Chains A and B, each alone.
Chain A
């Protein structure tokens, strides 16, 4: 009882552990890494624009954005989409997570967020801030409005860069989200709409009339965003900021696809081709059950495992067959069989003949018991 009160998770039967680890634990790791990477990227892109601006404002720490934008950026404009991603995102659905336990490996190997990934997020944030500043800089160095009046002023510059930033980070989280529920849609599009609503209302006459010194950006949004040139700048900057990330993601999936990518692809094609095959497998698998008792209630499988008897290639059917195995190999055998389904002649298949001769793989295999 006290152990329950002191622990993060507690459950009554060992069978629950499987789902907790392979589905929820894996999703949690995946979501956390995505969230962290995106958060660093977003804040670097937002903040480093001031670094580049320093070269052109005498290093006087003049802010590029409106003060209100700085306040509301992380609270209102970009917080909800990333929250939705952190709550709902799934790379692979729960059935496939249980079916392909190797998907758990990235978590064990710390693949999704390490120094390298952090460096890449930071690099992407720095590059985005660079483009976010210098493309409007180039466009605004000699720009005027359609009626000839000035345009290259501080406030228009601020509104342009701020709008571009919000659009770029929203597009980026759109590309990063793998599982678009209705909530995600609502938060992403809603944040953009709220941004424009707040922008126009804060730079309107009403608030300026009440507090002239606190809302000096009156008229800036209207004058700025009604120019076609500004929207062309925004479109160009958004495209240039998003394309490199897209190229890298695509190349990673195409050239160095991981098990996750393969399973996602499989999931998508299965969805398209219907679930007929799945019902077949279902019937066959219900026959292989294991005891619901925890290992400690009986002698256990320690000896069976260490003798390596159940891990011989001969005890498990050859690749891609659906025959059920004898009781001796039971769950481990099924796991191995499923690995075979993923890549028919893959090298992943653990076929350590005796004991622990192939060092790394067998202990890991034992750990998943």
Chain B
């Protein structure tokens, strides 16, 4: 009997003997006979072209909004590496060594031509610093940083060679901790009547809440840190041990926020990390009025040896973060390209598209 096209597909392939034996026949269910009800989308002009237009119409306004928001963010950068001879920090950058106990200070004047409102964020930026190098990223001990007592006395192998120093375990161990940024930056406003006013900088609230409260814990609680860190030594390149990072007990030891911010390794070789927050005073007065300012640097961190750069960035923020025109421009570009593609495809479809009319 000839199987017609409309016969149910239950012809079985079975063993010898011709004809199917009752036990071996597959069930005639929709699943087993591949007849499941299904949606079968077909790419037609009626579905694809409107999609392109819709994408274009959605992305272009988003891009414009992002771009305008980004343009409204105010940002100011000042490089204080001291590369040029004319730079105030040139001397500090030159004759510097890790063992130098005499801190070198330099001060850079700058001018803000716009007043900055609301909270202003002060970042330090480093260039050509590969915090994303694999050996560097591995070199830490998260259980030690979480306050685990065994790991405190016996750091993990990953921290080598920054795990032991003069036969004592290093706390915190590892290359990331060892290379912590330790410049001190202070900001002064030069009043029009001549006096220098120090701008108050807030050092807390700069790290992620999950980092400060879950990931990083002091061993044995936040009280009496020198006793808790007994038997350990400071990292090789630090000037002072970890329990002397700040006088505030909530910001000392492993939970020091500058330390936590540094330990969150950056993804790219040019990065910025939050240093301090300048809180807004009230809605009447701009946080940073227009005028002359001075940046006082205690220059501890050497970057010239690997051709790195250091800079300070002052920035306001918005709902989308800091000043970053890339996303706005990208959205506008992609939206316009999609719209254009829609138009081009429409023309091509009209002129050359095959009419899928089969004899029906």
Contacts and interface: CB of A to CB of B under 8 A. Distances in A.
Interface of A: 1, 4, 9-13, 15-16, 18-20, 23, 27, 56-58, 60-63, 88, 90, 94-95, 98-99, 135, 137-158, 178-184, 205, 208, 212-213, 216, 218-219, 222-223, 227-229, 232-233, 236, 239-240, 243, 246-247, 249-251, 253-257, 261-270, 277-278, 282, 285-286, 289-290, 292, 320, 340-344
| Contact residues of B: prevailing secondary structure | loop
Interface residues of B, number: 96
Interface stretch (B11-19, B222-230, B238-246, B297-305): B11-19
Given A58-B130, A153-B267, A157-B268, 5 more contacts: A149-B205, A154-B266, A208-B214, A208-B215, A268-B40
B132 A257 contact: no
B36 to A, nearest CB: 4
21 contacts: A15-B3, A20-B13, A60-B132, A62-B137, A90-B38, A137-B268, A142-B322, A145-B321, A146-B319, A147-B317, A148-B274, A154-B137, A157-B268, A219-B209, A219-B211, A229-B320, A254-B354, A255-B353, A277-B360, A341-B358, A344-B359
Interface stretch (B106-114, B187-195, B285-293, B323-331): B323-331
A157 B266 CA distance: 9
Contacts of B215: 208, 218-219
A149 B19 CA distance: 75
B166 interface: no
B62 A262 contact: no
A63 B205 CA distance: 30
Interface stretch (B82-90, B142-150, B167-175, B177-185): B142-150
B34 to A, nearest CB: 7
Interface stretch (B93-101, B247-255, B344-352): B344-352
Nearest to A177: B41
B330 A135 contact: yes
Contact of A254 (B45, B119, B146, B324): B45
B356 interface: yes
A90 B134 CA distance: 46
A218 to B, nearest CB: 5
A223 B213 CA distance: 14
A18 B2 CA distance: 10
A253 B43 contact: yes
A282 B48 contact: no
Contacts of B349: 254
A322 to B, nearest CB: 11
Contacts of A146: 317, 319-321
* B48, B269, B356 pick with most chain A CB within 10 angstroms: B356
A18 B3 contact: yes
Contacts of A264: 40, 42
A149 B142 contact: no
Contact of A152 (B42, B134, B272): B272
